[in-house]
Amino acid sequence: MILVTGAAGFIGSNFVLDWLAQSDEPVVNLDALTYAGNLENLASLEGDTRHIFIKGSIDDFDLVAKLLAEYQPRAIINFAAESHVDRSIHGPEDFIQTNIVGTFHLLEAVRAYWNGLEDEAKASFRFLHVSTDEVYGSLTKEDPAFAETNRYEPNSPYSASKAASDHLVRAYHHTYGLPVLTTNCSNNYGPYHFPEKLIPLVIHNALAGKPLPIYGDGQQIRDWLYVKDHCSAIRCVLEAGKLGETYNIGGWNEKPNLDVVHTLCAILDQLSPRADKQPYKTQITYVKDRPGHDRRYAIDASKIERELGWKPAETFETGIQKTVQWYLDNQSWVNNVTSGAYQSWVGKQYCAEL
């Protein structure tokens, strides 16, 4: 049995689906079902006794302690987090509460549980904390990619809160001996991605005939990682990672945001042409850059390849094609998650003119 927190969100739900496609080991899914948590992501598991869903927060010490005592998991994978820079700029408090205080309460519950295990179970237990490359700050075009030895220089409330959670996890290993692993990933994309992030937002807006908002000059560079590759890397780290170590997970796919949008437009021109035959790139609209926008992120993923033998299976070209096709094939899912409050958030974030 494993416990996966935040497993109704984008990466967490993909992880659970992949896990149960390859293993009969049951999963306890703890998710607070905030706006980005969606049980529809896991609809294919309905009635599957290997998947046990519990609605709740990692910030609830008593609930987590109860679940640990009841289900006795051999490992915990912590995806639970507030995870969007834009939202952290408008409302940082939720990020502090979930990512820092929530991680602290989770660690305290896990520490008490782990201390009570028998020797063999205690030795084999793992706590894997999923984090982000944004904790390292921003790079220039000339800088080498982020390695695990880079110092932390977070620049947004989101990345600062994740950096704090990473430090807590490290401290619980060095102070209490808790058997932890940490992963820092680059920008994920793929199925079930809530359309507040660049790729699903552009696909959604393009098909709806709406502007495709580009921050600033669109030359912010990100490394792109297909979500199923991320999931396979986490399984690899969980199985063979060295205790107390950090592993950077990247796709070796650095792209400026504007290039990503042009690629999406070109794929949509092929797979779902506009009725007027005009290219989707005509919908591109430049908006004011967000405050403190980091210029470049890049992941050096050589350590996980060298030590654990993992490398991504997808190129950006193959992964993005699969992603666009998934959104075209799952418009009902998109429609369900983009109703109500989502509409007012997009208007607020990207200016009323959009």
For 291-315, write each residue's pLDDT tens digit.
878 899 999 999 999 999 999 999 9
Query: Average of pLDDT values for 87-116?
Result: 92
**pLDDT exceeds cutoff 80 at 88:** no
Identify the residue with better confidence: 86 or 134: 134
What was the pLDDT predicted at 284? 97
Identify the residue with better confidence: 346 or 338: 338
* Catalytic choice (134, 166, 196, 229): 134
Query: Average of pLDDT values for 131-152?
Result: 96
Element (H, E) at 287: strand 284-287
Percent of the chain with pLDDT over 70: 95
Spatial distance between the Cα atoms of 223 and 77, rounded to a whole number of angstroms? 23
241-271 per-position pLDDT tens digit? 999 999 999 999 999 999 999 999 999 999 9
What was the pLDDT predicted at 89? 81
Q: What is the pTM of this model?
A: 0.93
Question: What letters, b where the CB count within 10 A reaches 16 and e where it falls short, cover 311-348?
Answer: bbebebeebbbebbebbeeeeebbeebbeeeeeebbee
**pLDDT exceeds cutoff 80 at 350:** no
**pLDDT exceeds cutoff 60 at 342:** no
Query: Measured at the alpha carbon of residue 100, what is the angle toward residues 63 and 104, in degrees to the nearest 5?
Result: 45
**pLDDT exceeds cutoff 50 at 211:** yes
Query: Average of pLDDT values for 42-48?
Result: 96
**pLDDT exceeds cutoff 70 at 341:** no
3-state helix, strand, coil in the chain (%, to 5): 50, 15, 35
Tell me the pLDDT of the chain averaged across its residues. Answer: 93
161-193 per-position pLDDT tens digit? 999 999 999 999 999 999 999 999 999 999 999
Pairing of strands 254-256, 221-226: antiparallel
Q: Are the C-beta atoms of 13 and 31 separated by less than 8 Å? A: no
* Catalytic choice (133, 229, 300, 314): 133
Query: Average of pLDDT values for 75-87?
Result: 85
- CB atoms inside a 10 Å sphere around CB 208: 11
**pLDDT exceeds cutoff 50 at 347:** no
**pLDDT exceeds cutoff 50 at 344:** no
Spatial distance between the Cα atoms of 183 and 126, rounded to a whole number of angstroms? 13
The answer to whether residue 133 is catalytic is yes
What was the pLDDT predicted at 237? 98
Q: Are the C-beta atoms of 285 and 350 separated by less than 8 Å? A: no
Task: Place 337 in a pLDDT band, splitting at 50, 70 and 90.
Answer: confident
Task: Place 84 in a pLDDT band, splitting at 50, 70 and 90.
Answer: low
Coil, helix or strand at residue 183: strand
Spatial distance between the Cα atoms of 314 and 227, rounded to a whole number of angstroms? 10
Percent of the chain with pLDDT over 90: 84
What was the pLDDT predicted at 103? 98
Which CATH number, 2.60.40.1120, 3.50.50.60, 3.40.50.720, 3.40.50.2300, labels domain 2-192+226-253+296-315?
3.40.50.720
What was the pLDDT predicted at 37? 83
* Catalytic choice (31, 86, 113, 158): 158
Identify the residue whose tokens are 């937002």.
201
